[in-house]
Amino acid sequence: MPKKLTPLDAATRAFRKSIDPYSMFTSQIDAQLAWLRHPQELMRAADEFAADIAALQGHAVRRSLGLPADEVYEPNPKDARFADPIWTESAPWDILKEWYLTMSSRLQKLSYEAPGMSEHERHRAAFWQRNYLNMLSPDNFFWLNPKAMDRYAKTQGESLRLGLKNFARDVEAKNIQMVEPDAFVVGKDLATTAGKVIFRNRLVELIHYAPTTDKVREMPILIVTPWINKFYILDLTEKKSLVKHLTDQGFSVFISSWKNPPKEMHDVRFDDYLTQGVCELVRVTTEFCKVPQLHLVGYCIGGTLAATYMAWANKRFGPDKVPVAHWTLFTSLIDFSEPGEINIFIDEACLEGLDTLMAKKGYLDGTEMAASFRLLRSNSLIWNYWVSSYLMGEKLPAFDVLFWNVDATRMPQAMHSYYLRQMYLHNNLIKPDALTIADESIDLGRIQQSLYAVTAQEDHIAPWEACYKVRQNIHPDAPVRFVRSTSGHILGIINPPVQPPKRSYWVAEPAYGEDAEHWLARADKKPGTWWDDWTTWLHQRTGELVSAYATTSRKYPALADAPGTYVLEK
């Protein structure tokens, strides 16, 4: 028999469902009520709070008298908000900084330790509280930002005039912009590697890149990109292009470019992305090159789809007849049990709210999804631009990765609802035969093909420890080479060779049953980019060198020049 709700609990639940499905406000109320229900723990927390106040008062007195004073709160060295020396050298600004950081830290600790709440509830309360606290940071306000006031004086008010102009620009755009929308042109400045669209259906275009060497490896490489963003993150500029690097290394490269779905495609399912997407791309690529197998690459959600396909194909065709010889994953979640902070959006109430939102349009708009990811790193992805654009009056940077990041796509309602529930909420992908997709039960344990998996140390969208779990979910005998690159979800992958090396990576073959920390402790750390290690691994497995394939064929003529037509759809 279900537990009877108190009037307050019933009212809170009704408010959350109708007005606050993401618990922006109710999570704060829940945390406060949790402390009130535990007076003994509340008294202990009050003592710690009082100790902070006493330490801050002592710090303020010593700084005011010109005496040395230790910092009450040791700031995170990666927190750029207070990096300017004035926040430490000037007593008034140092006092303000210490009060803000100490109080913020204490309030966050209270949320994380709220008694009687589940871990998920505590993390959700702390997440929204942190975003409120980030918004209230003193450097976000003109009269509390010494750099902004100094710039105003030096420019004789011009910085503030430009800031107001930038503010009006963003009000019209209904967004705190990170890059000018016309900073680049896709096909002219970005996505310029030569190639042809050789296949198109209602869901995807397939681009075959022109060879840049006389000989290529016999086995082609097919890259399944995420449809959460557009494909050209892997073909930014010539120096940053992974596909250009691969063609220069003597590989024949094919890539997916997904259609940006309109409302009429609201019923497109995850099954369709498998059957009309990756299945068709594999078929066309192998037919084009007249080979029985290829190398499959999946990035982010494209990697989740690639893993699903590998399990599906091993069931449908049998291990010996799968048209994929081996595969690669870039920062892809397979096990969603620990997906990082994005998990605060994953519960039944949140997903019901999303379903209601998507039902009105037939899709989840890309800007709405982008907003949730920006909240995960609000200081660097929101308030940094608030300060630079409005308080400092600076121009938006012409940064190719940022331009790509805001070139958002939509998610079909049926697919996205299924993906969030079955993968994130219920984690059914790792449960043998829990999902049936395209008429086949999915068991990752059937995957026996060799895997090269790349993760990123600072990835907040697909944490590397969570991505590592793929080793435990595919067949125990499947060979795996695992990499952890420095940087994050994007720059950990867009990591071209440079001299001297800017980044590094850890690499080793994990044993079945070996945990992530043990693997990391014994992995080799190497300077530079994992691109070199990967291409060496590919050369050993993708067959003999043959004459380069023509970019098109009689059966698959050019439908458009790269980057195609789907990538240009807004």
SS3 (DSSP) at 326: strand
Facing residues of 294 across strands?
324
Query: How many other C-beta atoms are found inside a 10 Å radius of the C-beta of residue 25?
Result: 15
Please state, in angstroms and rounded to a whole number, the distance separating the CA atoms of residues 305 and 325: 17
Structure tokens at 476: 């125990």
* Cα dihedral sign, 437-441-444-448: negative
Which two structure tokens, joined as six digits, stand for 364?
């989840």
Q: Which residue in the list 279, 289, 300, 467 is annotated as catalytic?
A: 300
Catalytic status, residue 289: no
Per-residue DSSP letter, 74 = -
What lies within 8 Å, CB to CB, of 119 at 6+ separation is: none
Closest CA to 482 of 460, 438, 450: 450
Place of tokens 């399944």: 224
Residue 147: burial class (beta carbons within 10 Å; 0-12, 13-18, 19+): middle
What is the three-class DSSP state of 180? coil
- Is the CB of residue 294 less than 8 Å from the CB of residue 286? yes
Give the pairing type, strands 253-258 and 221-224. parallel
C-alpha to C-alpha distances, 178 to 12, 154, 517, nearest whole angstrom: 36, 25, 36
Which neighbouring-strand residues pair with 452? 328, 481
Instruction: Using alpha carbons, list the distances in angstroms from residue 554 to 81, 129, 287, 551, 559.
Output: 58, 60, 12, 11, 12
Terminal alpha carbon distance of the chain: 50
CA dihedral of 465, 468, 472, 476, whole degrees rounded to 10: -150
For residue 340, give both structure tokens.
């990082």
Query: Tokens 């723990």, residue?
Result: 41
- CA–CA separation, 207 vs 50, rounded Å? 63
Contact (CB, 8 A) for 260 and 569 = yes
Q: What is the DSSP letter of 307?
A: H
By annotation, the residues acting in catalysis are 300
